[in-house]
């Protein structure tokens, strides 16, 4: 299945072999940080030096005077920015390629979409980075890091992703069990703090007690130690709660079936580790998530602290912003000033609380720039391509946008918010009609 990708990966290895140093730029989310860690580990094992930076996106270009630039988890949708780079470039991404890259020097482009694999659901950037790493040497232990990116980007365990996981399982790096993909901890904390699924128990202790009583599970038990029978009861309870909350039908399938434990990593529960890395990225402490993915224990306690403060902050923000949501004809949206974050909030609203329409979260930052996160869910995505909506609406108002069918984003100026929202609504109505 990876033949075409491997051809491009081998081309990338040839380019790499001309150099002793690589400048890596990667995205700041879990898929980006894990991609960076996979590439960095593979380079270190080859004795090659690197410098890595974590970017929020490519809309502002890349600054580098180095001879070899590796871009991960971003670039395929920004051909003009990539074309500007005056260096050998290895681009490893899973975003939908747009336009034409006019590279100045040697160039390799490892992207599942160019190899007949759907990069939105079937292969993450971490997976594409893993394929590259495999061409550099025996790096099969990094399959567990690839899995973190797959989980972090909410991809499906199918296609290329499933193949990478199979390899990790066969080599003993990944342990697969039946059950729910939830974070670690006492059941009570897991249900209160989980953001995916979001269960709306954060400040509802009594409801939580009732729920635990109904499913007959002691809230002080550790989630990772539940019996199959207990976990089944928990899954049923969660499924009912989500449907009552307004989530879409079949939502439970997004986080149930197989769950994974990572034998070589500092945190064994894959979802927990992915959430810690996510929090480090969202809280602009990328090096902590990166260090943990490089298996450096020194960063672990800070990672847990960051995760805890991040999820608590997001839960408080969700409660506070719920009242401020506005409704267009075909979208819901929220305009915040100096808000905590856009993506995690838009994900919760669009998947768990208001699953009938796509959700657009806009955050006006102090410099007058606006960060936009657009999210939908599996049901809506059957008809709607949010990446296309974000790209087109942002360009109409002089901004930039793109991403994936279910999770996309844009950067625009504050004065264009009204026009942008109107255009997003119009485009969504056309696609959803």
Catalog residues that contact ligand C5P under the rule CB under 6 A. Answer: 29, 57, 59, 74, 77, 95, 342-343, 373, 400-404, 407-411
Contact 63, 32 (CB under 8 A): no
**Using CA atoms, how far apart are residues 191 and 201, in angstroms rounded to an integer?**
7
Quick one: tokens of 86? 């005056």
Torsion angle of C-alpha atoms 10, 40, 161, 131, degrees rounded to 10:
10
Q: Closest approach of Cβ 73 to ligand C5P, in Å?
A: 7
Q: Closest approach of Cβ 62 to ligand C5P, in Å?
A: 14
Q: Closest approach of Cβ 292 to ligand C5P, in Å?
A: 20
| Closer residue to ligand C5P in complex, CB, 57/112 | 57
| Closer residue to ligand C5P in complex, CB, 109/400 | 400
| Closer residue to ligand C5P in complex, CB, 237/402 | 402
Contact 129, 119 (CB under 8 A): no
| Closer residue to ligand C5P in complex, CB, 259/391 | 391
| Closer residue to ligand C5P in complex, CB, 136/386 | 386
Q: Return phi, psi of residue 419, to 5°.
A: -65, -40
Q: Closest approach of Cβ 281 to ligand C5P, in Å?
A: 10
| Closer residue to ligand C5P in complex, CB, 37/393 | 393
- What distances in angstroms separate CA 350 from CA 96, 110, 196, one per listed residue? 22, 31, 12
Q: Closest approach of Cβ 84 to ligand C5P, in Å?
A: 16
**Using CA atoms, how far apart are residues 290 and 278, in angstroms rounded to an integer?**
10
Please tell me the total number of residues recorded for the chain in this structure.
Answer: 433
64 SS3 class? coil
Give the 3-state secondary structure percentages of the chain, helix then strand then coil, rounded to 5.
Answer: 50, 20, 30
Q: Closest approach of Cβ 343 to ligand C5P, in Å?
A: 4
């Amino acid at each position: 299945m990876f033949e075409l990708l491997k051809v491009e990966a081998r081309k990338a290895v040839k380019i790499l072999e001309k150099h002793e140093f690589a400048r890596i730029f990667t995205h700041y989310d879990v898929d980006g940080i894990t991609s960076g860690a996979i590439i960095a580990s593979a380079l270190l094992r080859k004795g090659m030096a690197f410098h890595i930076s974590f970017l929020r996106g490519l809309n502002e270009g890349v600054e580098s005077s180095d001879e070899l630039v590796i871009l991960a988890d971003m670039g395929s949708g920004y051909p003009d920015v990539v074309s500007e780079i005056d260096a050998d470039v290895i681009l490893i991404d899973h975003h939908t390629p747009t336009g034409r890259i006019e590279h100045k020097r040697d160039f390799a482009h490892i992207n599942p979409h160019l190899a007949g694999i759907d990069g939105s659901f079937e292969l993450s950037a971490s997976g594409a980075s893993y394929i590259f790493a495999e061409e550099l040497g025996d790096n099969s232990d990094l399959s567990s890091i690839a899995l973190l990116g797959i989980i972090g980007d909410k991809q499906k365990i199918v296609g290329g992703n499933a193949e990478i996981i199979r390899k990790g399982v066969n080599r003993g790096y990944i342990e697969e069990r039946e059950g729910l993909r939830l974070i670690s901890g006492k059941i009570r904390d897991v249900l209160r703090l989980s953001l995916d699924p979001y269960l709306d128990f954060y400040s509802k202790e009594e409801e939580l007690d009732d729920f635990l009583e109904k499913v007959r599970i002691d809230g002080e038990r550790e989630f990772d130690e539940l019996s199959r029978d207990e976990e089944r009861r928990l899954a049923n309870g969660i499924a009912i709660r989500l449907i009552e909350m307004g989530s879409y039908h079949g939502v439970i399938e997004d986080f149930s079936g197989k769950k994974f434990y990572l034998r070589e990593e500092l945190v064994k529960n894959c979802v927990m580790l992915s959430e810690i890395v996510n929090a480090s990225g969202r809280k602009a402490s990328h090096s902590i998530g990166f260090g943990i993915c490089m298996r450096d224990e020194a960063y672990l306690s800070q990672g847990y602290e960051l995760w805890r403060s991040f999820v608590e902050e997001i839960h408080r923000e969700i409660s506070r912003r719920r009242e401020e949501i506005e409704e267009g004809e075909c979208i819901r949206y929220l305009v915040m000033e100096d808000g905590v974050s856009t993506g995690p909030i838009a994900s919760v609203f669009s998947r768990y609380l208001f699953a009938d329409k796509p959700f657009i979260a806009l955050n006006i930052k102090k410099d007058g720039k606006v960060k936009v996160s657009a999210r939908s869910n599996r049901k809506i995505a059957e008809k709607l391509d949010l990446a296309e909506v974000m790209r087109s609406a942002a360009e109409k108002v002089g901004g930039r946008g793109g991403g994936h069918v279910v999770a996309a984003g844009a950067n625009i100026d504050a004065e264009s918010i009204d026009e942008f929202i109107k255009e997003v609504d119009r485009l969504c109505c056309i696609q959803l009609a």
